[in-house]
Amino acid sequence: MERTNVRLHTHFTDFVKPSQVVPDLAAKDRVAAVEELLDVLVKEKLLTNKKPVLTRIIDRENLETTAIGMGVALPHARVDTGGEIAIAVGRSEKGIDFEAPDGQKVHLVILVVWNPELPGLFNHLFAGLARFLIKPANRQRLFQAKDRAELYAVLSEIELRFYEGDKIIHRASVLRKLQELEIKRRKARKEQQKEIQKHAAMLREELDTALISRFDKLMERYGFAVAEVVEGVCQGCNINLSTQMHSAIEGSNDIYVCENCGKFLVSPAKKKKK
Ligand SMILES: [Zn+2]
């Protein structure tokens, strides 16, 4: 079970003070952007061990970009900082290349460092952010806010809620990548296994424990856990999904569960635009 104290927080800005928001990032690339935001956390006394955290975040970034598309990236690491969570937000007018899946430059960087004891907190935060940022009007207001105060005012509208209903918001690409690594690990030679396992562990930490245990059971039983939906049919069991579920999944990065075979349903992977 997730720790219950996080339920007391209802807004994104419960975790972020105005001084943790940088309206005009000086950084021109993603490593510099992450470093600039980590410096903010150090200054705010939310972080002391900057260097290992930077390494950790960049390792994670190299494994799979944390850009979610639409001009937003969420670099993150699960590291014990003494507190529960440390967040810094940076905006870049020119945009920074995060190798986003949609090829767009990133104008809003939300850096999150959270305590390993709080696995559920990040998902909670992530779901709330994704729900807010999916709306173009909200992104425009964040990208165009004239100063720190205005930017903070928009950020304070972001509400955090636990998952509702039958979907897991914006985590399909992470689950897909985890499956890819697990399949690779099974085929790999012994000396390569450790490295793959290390990468897989990084992704496992980001996902809910209930989801992970279901994932492992499915992998064990079928050799795969994530099924794509092609033309409304679950590729895990060849059964037609309801029209409603099919249209919800199409083109989305959310995870659903097949009512027939119990596998995780995702939209087919998009080809990277160059
Ligand atoms: Zn199925």
Q: Under DSSP, is residue 122 helix (H, G, I), strand (E, B) or coil?
A: helix
The model's pTM is 0.71
What is the reported pLDDT for 121? 66
Distance from Cα 219 to the centre of ligand 1, integer Å? 14
Distance from Cα 2 to the centre of ligand 1, integer Å? 28
Among candidate residues 153, 156, 146, 61, the one with its CA nearest the CA of residue 109: 61
Distance from Cα 264 to the centre of ligand 1, integer Å? 8
Per the structure block, which two tokens stand in for 26?
Answer: 């000086």
What is the reported pLDDT for 20? 98
What is the reported pLDDT for 130? 86
What is the reported pLDDT for 162? 54
What Cα–Cα distance (Å) separates residue 129 from each residue in 49, 72, 132, 133, 211?
26, 10, 5, 6, 20
Among candidate residues 256, 229, 247, the one with its CA nearest the CA of residue 170: 256
264 CB-near residues (< 8 Å, 6+ apart): 175, 214, 215, 218, 225, 226, 227, 255, 256, 257, 258
Distance from Cα 173 to the centre of ligand 1, integer Å? 19
> What is the pLDDT tens value at each position of the chain, 274 positions in all?
333 334 445 789 988 999 999 999 999 999 999 999 999 999 999 998 899 999 999 988 988 888 988 999 999 888 877 777 899 999 999 999 999 989 999 999 999 998 776 656 676 788 788 889 989 999 999 999 999 999 999 999 998 765 444 567 778 989 999 999 999 999 999 999 999 999 999 899 888 888 898 899 999 989 999 999 999 999 999 989 888 888 888 888 888 888 888 899 999 876 654 4
Edge-to-edge order in the sheet of strand 256-257: 233-234, 226-230, 264-266, 256-257
Q: Is 76 tagged catalytic?
A: yes
Among candidate residues 36, 59, 51, 45, the one with its CA nearest the CA of residue 205: 59
Per the structure block, which two tokens stand in for 213?
Answer: 């245990």
Answer whether 252's CB lies under 8 Å from 270's CB.
no
Choice among 76, 170, 199, 246 that is catalytic: 76
Q: Which helix (H) or strand (E) holds 114?
A: strand 106-114
Among candidate residues 59, 50, 100, the one with its CA nearest the CA of residue 201: 59
Round to whole Å and give the CA distance between 71 and 108: 6
